[in-house]
């Protein structure tokens, strides 16, 4: 997109002046907390991933669940699903972020999924590759 568009100008300001970059949400399902901790550690090693926030970021997952803060449980847990927030080093539409999303999807395999604007960028990139 042309950089003289107001929306692109605004995006550039958010990225440069406020350090706002791409974000995504992931759901990890049917995994115990130790397995999720392992998955999160692998996500954080992916080039383009800045940080992954999950229940274990704010709570000691080795304490009995009855002692966890209820607000954190409500924010990150739902039945057999655990929410993770993924922050990228670049914007959602950067090649690095798109490649990181693809790696995250491979890592999650059948135990989860991720959502966010960068998935649209990944889809567009995949369609473009097929048309070449």
Inside any domain, residue 98: yes
Inside any domain, residue 41: yes
Inside any domain, residue 7: no
Q: Is 58 helix (H, G, I), strand (E, B) or coil?
A: helix
Inside any domain, residue 114: yes
Q: Which residue has the higher pLDDT, 46 or 16?
A: 46
Domain around 79: 20-131
How far from the centroid of its chain's Cα atoms is residue 93's Cα?
Answer: 14
Inside any domain, residue 4: no
| Tens of pLDDT, residues 63-110 | 998 999 999 888 898 888 899 999 999 888 788 988 998 899 888 887
Catalogue the long-range contacts made by 32-36 (C-beta closer than 8 Å, 24 or more residues apart): 33/61, 33/82, 34/61, 36/82, 36/84
Which pLDDT value is given to residue 84? Answer: 92
Q: Return the bridge partners of 24, or none.
A: 86
Inside any domain, residue 65: yes
Residue 60 neighbours by CB distance under 10 Å: 10
Inside any domain, residue 31: yes
Question: Domains in the chain: how many in total?
Answer: 1
Q: What is the CATH number of the domain that holds 115?
A: 3.30.70
Inside any domain, residue 37: yes
Q: Is the pLDDT of residue 115 over 50?
A: yes
Instruction: Compute the distance between CA of residue 27 and CA of residue 44 in angstroms, rounded to an integer.
Output: 16
| Tens of pLDDT, residues 32-55 | 999 999 999 999 999 999 999 999
């Amino acid at each position: 997109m042309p950089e003289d568009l107001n929306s692109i100008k605004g995006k550039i300001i958010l990225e440069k002046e406020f350090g706002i970059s791409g974000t995504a949400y992931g759901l990890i399902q049917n995994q115990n907390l130790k397995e999720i901790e392992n998955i999160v550690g692998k996500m954080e090693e992916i080039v383009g991933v800045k940080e992954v926030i999950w229940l274990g970021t704010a709570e000691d997952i080795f304490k009995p669940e009855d002692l966890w803060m209820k607000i954190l449980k409500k924010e990150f847990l739902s039945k057999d699903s655990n929410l993770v927030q993924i922050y990228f080093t670049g914007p959602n539409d950067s090649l690095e972020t798109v490649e990181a999303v693809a790696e995250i999807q491979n890592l999650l395999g059948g135990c989860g999924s991720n959502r966010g604007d960068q998935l649209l960028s990944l889809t567009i990139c995949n369609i473009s590759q097929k048309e070449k």
